[in-house]
């Protein structure tokens, strides 16, 4: 059986991270599991964790007043759930619901932020891994906002 250090260091998010930094990360990590339908977090709550998905599928959802929640992204094996832990005031920007049995590593955000603040090289290494995720989500959002598959506007 793999120990938590192996699991954390082998997760795609930490690919290429040196072992010293990896060990530091492991001090903030614990295994978690969510049953189908269970929420990892809710919009507006304190963003206290960064989740590294090992297996499963998680839907990011937005509550729409008077309507059923709308899912705008699903995350799968090897993905990261939750980036709000890095942006003050550290509140989740959406809900996250496990669609299937989901096993993940939860990294404590207070611990993570403290270690990144104390060691800028570690902080930089973590940021370098987060930025491509944020950029790709920004591009995805642009495409979604443009509603590219929607019916073209009728000429006036």
Ligand X SMILES: Cc1cc2nc3c(=O)[nH]c(=O)nc-3n(C[C@H](O)[C@H](O)[C@H](O)COP(=O)(O)OP(=O)(O)OC[C@H]3O[C@@H](n4cnc5c(N)ncnc54)[C@H](O)[C@@H]3O)c2cc1C
Is residue 89 close enough to count as binding ligand X by CB under 6 A?
no
- Taking the least distance from each CB to another protein, the nearer of 121 and 131 is 131
CA-to-CA separations, 90 to 33, 49, 84, 86, in angstroms, rounded:
23, 10, 5, 7
Map tokens 């891994």 to a residue.
129
Is residue 135 close enough to count as binding another protein by CB under 8 A?
no
Is residue 39 close enough to count as binding another protein by CB under 8 A?
no
At 123 the three-state DSSP class reads helix
Instruction: Examine residue 155 and say whether the peptide bond preceding it is cis (omega within 30 degrees of 0).
Output: no
Select from 5, 7, 63, 99 the one that contacts another protein (CB under 8 A).
Answer: 99
Select from 21, 39, 72, 90 the one that contacts another protein (CB under 8 A).
Answer: 72
The whole-angstrom separation of Cα 105 and Cα 26 is 10
Select from 65, 68, 89, 156 the one that contacts another protein (CB under 8 A).
Answer: 68
| Subset of 135-154 contacting ligand X (CB under 6 A) | 152-154
The whole-angstrom separation of Cα 148 and Cα 139 is 13
The whole-angstrom separation of Cα 20 and Cα 94 is 33
Is residue 30 close enough to count as binding another protein by CB under 8 A?
no
Is residue 134 close enough to count as binding another protein by CB under 8 A?
no
Q: For binding to ligand X (CB under 6 A), which residues are involved? A: 152-155
């Amino acid at each position: 059986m793999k120990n938590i250090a192996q699991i954390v260091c082998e997760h795609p998010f930490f690919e290429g991270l040196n072992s010293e930094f990896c060990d530091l990360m492991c001090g903030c990590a614990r295994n978690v599991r969510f049953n189908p339908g269970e929420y990892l977090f809710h919009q507006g709550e304190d963003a206290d964790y960064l989740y590294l998905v090992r297996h499963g599928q998680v839907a990011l959802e937005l509550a729409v007043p008077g309507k059923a929640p709308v899912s705008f992204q699903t995350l799968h094996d090897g993905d990261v759930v939750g980036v709000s832990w890095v942006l003050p005031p550290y509140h989740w920007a959406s809900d996250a619901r496990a669609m299937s049995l989901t096993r993940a590593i939860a990294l404590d955000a207070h611990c993570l932020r403290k270690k990144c603040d104390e060691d800028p090289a570690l902080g930089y290494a973590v940021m370098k891994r987060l930025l491509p995720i944020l950029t790709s989500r920004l591009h995805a959002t642009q495409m979604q906002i443009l509603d590219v598959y929607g019916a073209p506007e009728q000429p006036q």
